Amino acid sequence: MSSVRARFGKFRFRAAGAIQPLQRLLPRRELIFPPAPVVLGVLLVVFSLSGCSSASKDQKRAAAAAGPESYMRVTRPDADTVQLQIAARSFNPARGRGPDIWLVGASHIGESNYFATLQKRLDAHPLVLFEGVGARSKKIKFNPGEESSVQHTLATSLGLVFQLSAIDYDRPHFQNSDLTLAQLQALFQSGGKAEGQSTKAGQEFQELLQVMDGSSFLGALVHFGIKLIGANPRLQAMTKVILIELLGQIKGDMAQLKGMPPEIQRLLEVIIQERNKVVVEDVKKELAARSPRAIAVFYGAGHMADLEKRLRADLSYVPRKTVWLTAMSVNTRQAGLSETELDGMRKLIQWQLDSLNQ
């Protein structure tokens, strides 16, 4: 059994043990938690491809000394509202002159107002370097009539929108800065830290792609399960809260989950670090051309901590300003979610994350 299937099996198996204590906490008619462990597993798989930071031991030691502030946070503007916010952070040269560089983090699903605000911010920059494996040779706009994506399915079920449907990339100042699919696949075939590790990571990558587009049996099940969320407004709201609380706890960084198998760690390393190297090289080319233009790097929020370390170490840029944008929010009172349910949900998330740290 592959690690992808094993992870889902692990969540299903441990879900049974979680339900009994939750049944004692909640009235039976209000119990909506049975899907939660499965949802948590799905969300971890979804966001492992969306952008989750991973770091080498040397980078982790450097980060411990002076690590970047998080690009993802949970806020509670009032007693009934919980929000997920994503950062956009500006950088200037520590010495001398040079163009501003903005690291504009993204949540790949969010509210329409969030993406409208992002679009306005990106359109204000003379140059935007954006992520998209293989997007140098094709249109990046997502067409739900012709394509399938677990992220689009999740966004629709939660009453949100998918980034590739909401953002207009057909702009003259938008430039793709990413690996091609062939380059990404080649990285999985070489450079493993242990014999066979890269091959296993490549297999994990292919299986995750099949989950993402629903082309495998497991992927079809995931898509079907996610669609059921949208049929129940209370379950929809609870799932959004789970997503917000989960990402808030791990800060978009799955590398901190010690229970991840080596091939998954290698997968995250390639997805994050190798692609970030391409971005930094493109930034260096712009700086070498002595372009006076400000540069925006538009990538998933999970890429940003590693990108910031590279800007500091390789280009001697330092952070100056941070702007927070609300990607999604839930009014728990309007959704009819009780404090007992919310407390039980938070305990369940913590329990599942603790299990992944074993």
Domain coordinates in residue numbering, the chain: 3-356
Examine the pLDDT at 309 and tell me if it is beyond 60.
yes
Examine the pLDDT at 286 and tell me if it is beyond 50.
yes
Q: Using alpha carbons only, what angle is made at residue 263 by residues 282 and 218, rounded to the nearest 5 degrees?
A: 100
CA 123 to chain CA centroid, Å, is 23
138 burial (CB, 10 Å; 0-12 / 13-18 / 19+) is exposed
Determine the pLDDT at residue 257.
64
What's the one-letter identity of residue 112?
A: S
Over residues 13-31, mean pLDDT: 35
Determine the pLDDT at residue 344.
87
What is the rounded average pLDDT for all residues in the chain? 77
Residue 279 has phi, psi (to 5 degrees) of -60, -50
- The answer to whether the pTM exceeds 0.85 is no
What are the tokens at 76? 């509670």
